[in-house]
Amino acid sequence: PNFEEIASRLAGHTNVVNVSFTEPYLKAVSKVPPGHSISWRQSAQQRETTYQRYPDLRSVGAAEMALLLDLEAVSEAHGIQLRVCCNQEYSGKFALAQCCGAELFSPYGDSILQKVAALKPGPSREQCRCIKTVDIGMDTTCPGGCFYCYATTSLDRAMKNFKEHDPKFSRLR
């Protein structure tokens, strides 16, 4: 129901939705509350550390494929293409995402588009197809509390950092 509402509101305002399964970063897996179970994408990048420490991690399977098919049907009904990010195992079944690629810059003209298209890829994770990007945020500043988040190590600290943030402050002064 949530995705249906989001897709209906975005209809006509976007053409693409990129989805991905949670990357099993060690600090994300370690924060999963007891009794909760989530599916983690297969990741050779994390196999040496996370899967050795947590051998019982549940991998993405048939239920998640059914979810992707449902999400695709909803998005298509609203004129939005569903793409999968960093999940090459779904290539051929779903379009592969490029969250930050040249097509995003096409509205800014050919000159910008050509410069962006010439940039080298800079994947942030295995199988990422994006150009190199730079994060502009800081870790442990989001008060969202998502236990699978790899960027927040302490919710208490994130809440404190969020409350202390001054949006009018600039280091460029």
Give the distance between the most distant pair of CA atoms in the chain. Answer: 53
In the chain, % of residues over pLDDT 90: 28
Mean pLDDT highest for which of 55-64, 73-82, 86-95, 101-110?
73-82
Q: What is the pLDDT of residues 136-162, one digit of tens each?
A: 778 888 899 887 787 888 889 999 999
Asked if pLDDT for residue 44 goes beyond 90, the answer is no
Q: What are phi and psi of 150, to 5 degrees?
A: -90, -10
Write the single-letter amino acid at 51: Y
Write the single-letter amino acid at 31: K
Task: List Cβ neighbours of 101 (8 Å cut-off, separation of 6 or more).
Answer: 129, 130, 131
So what's the pLDDT on residue 173?
A: 47
So what's the pLDDT on residue 47?
A: 67
Asked if pLDDT for residue 172 goes beyond 60, the answer is no
DSSP, residue by residue, the chain: -HHHHHHHHHBTTBSEEEE-PPP--HHHHTTPPTT---EE---HHHHTTHHHH-TTPEEP-HHHHHHHHHHHHHHHHTT-EEEESS-GGGBTTBEEP-TTSGGGGGGG-HHHHHHHHTSPB--SSTT--PBP----S-SS------TT-SS-S-HHHHHHHHHH--TT--TT-
User: How much is the mean pLDDT over the chain?
Assistant: 85
* pTM of structure: 0.74
Q: What is the pLDDT of residues 63-83, one digit of tens each?
A: 889 999 999 999 999 999 999
Write the single-letter amino acid at 117: A
Write the single-letter amino acid at 35: G
Structure tokens at 170: 């600039």
